[in-house]
Amino acid sequence: MDHKQQIAAYFEAHREELLRDAAELIRIPSEKGEPKPGMPFGESPAKALDAAERMAGNMGFSVRNYDHYVLAVDLNDRPRQLDILAHLDVVPAGSGWTVTRPFEPLVKDGKLYGRGAADDKGPAVAALYAMKAVRDLGVPLKKSARLVLGSDEECGSADMKHYYEAEPEAPMTFSPDAEFPVVNIEKGRYSTWVRASWAEDAALPRILSVRGGVKSNVVPDTAEAVVEGLPAAELSGYARVASARTGVRFLVREENGKAVVEAHGICAHASTPGDGNNAVTGLIDLLCGIPFADSEGFRRLRAVNRLFPHGDWKGTAAGVAMKDAISGELTMSLNLFDCRTTGLKGYFDGRTPVSATDRNLKDAFCARARSLGLEPDGEGVSPAHHVPADTPFVRTLLKCYEQYTGRKGRCLAIGGGTYAHRLKNGVAFGCSMPGTDNRMHAADEYAVVDDLLVSAKIFTQAIIDLCS
């Protein structure tokens, strides 16, 4: 039976309710915090789960809270056929917001703005309303769907580890935490710390500190260095030249007899580092172009610059650039950095194609880093996730997408990782439409309102087709 007209009418009637509930969740600044009793990821993520629990409970669904790690919402009491995995935690708000404040949701020009609007609170609410639509429309099902709402996706997914220790995987799983049509390949990871240490050298001029980055999976938009023995006016001249070269904006000031340099770039998700402008590598580029006193520490900073030169996010300088036909090319970005007078450490985020292995990636990178006097930690390559495109599950999702968008469906590979990454039959499915930049992890994040509603319709049809 074709339910398309009924589904379309349903979401036209419930448009404002869906937006209201998405806005309620966006208002909660659910960044990871210090764990507390009954709040494994801090107060705000727990508050977001509580709000979603009330929301789903008021709709009449059966809801189970798994120790404030995740929340599970069941469509009916039949055997589970489909899990939909979304998350309510968010990356830090960051700077540079212009349309509204990060946790003050605003609908403007057909877009819902706010941190989490696209990643992943808007999609989570769209999935919840899809379950409500299936139930309210009285569509008969043989199996059940479950919406699983997590609270630690951005910081390691310990929430889902806890959940799957208690529950088996559903036969099919999708996560609305990426883009349409269907993401059946998620790149692997090679991400680790690189370190160096040395005895302090007080020869002037010298660098006292370089710091930048807030999250390992976010290309940093700010960084700061403190310099001793070099006037701010002279440093400003070098900064102007480096800014023209890198596109990073530098601000130089005197403070307590020292020069402080702020670097301002463009934030981006680590899976798409080319969309940003890395403030950390831009600042290191500036510093390495200044004639500081020769020291072991300055030589090690220049080694970092050689390993991760500004603008190189494909691993070319590290000797590990690679790509394959089904999953694309490797990306690599230096996202956390801390350099003091006796040592440094930097964390890079690498997203790896299906063809990447310890031998052709880790071993090659470590050899290059050690040749420069830097020591990587011991982590190896985590392989890519791949669900074949010709499975009935993937074909059904593509059909639903085509039915409600009129666009041709196809399978995609992405650098980002979703909850589906470690599940045998898990894929990412929505909510971003092709060609839309929702500014996930960046300032002025938004969800296109019409796209959220179309996503809810697609999810409704997918539940019906997969669970009938």
Mutual angle of helices 232-246 and 279-288, in 10-degree steps: 120
149: nearest Cα among 75, 82, 69:
69
Q: Whole-angstrom Cα distance, residue 82 to residue 373?
A: 50
Do 308 and 346 contact (CB within 8 A), yes or no? yes
Q: Whole-angstrom Cα distance, residue 83 to residue 63?
A: 14
Cβ-proximal residues to 212 (8 Å cutoff; 6+ apart), any chain: 220, 222, 223, 224, 263, 279, 280, 283, 336, 337
* Annotated catalytic residue 445: no
Residue from 21, 31, 153, 177 carrying the catalytic annotation: 153
Do 130 and 174 contact (CB within 8 A), yes or no? no
Residue from 74, 83, 89, 444 carrying the catalytic annotation: 89
Q: Whole-angstrom Cα distance, residue 368 to residue 466?
A: 49
Q: Report residue 87: phi and psi, to 5°.
A: -130, 150
* Annotated catalytic residue 294: no
Q: Whole-angstrom Cα distance, residue 468 to residue 88?
A: 29
Q: Whole-angstrom Cα distance, residue 270 to residue 105?
A: 25
Do 124 and 459 contact (CB within 8 A), yes or no? no
Q: Whole-angstrom Cα distance, residue 109 to residue 350?
A: 36
53: Cα within 13 Å, side-chain hemisphere: 18
Reading the block at residue 300, the tokens are: 């090690």
Per-residue DSSP letter, 231 = -
Residue spans of alpha helices (H) in 323-427: 363-371, 392-405
The torsion defined by the Cα of 288, 294, 300 and 303, in degrees rounded to 10, comes to: 50
292 in helix, strand or coil?
coil
Q: Within 10 A of 323 (CB to CB), how many other CB atoms are there?
A: 12
Supply the residues annotated as catalytic.
89, 153
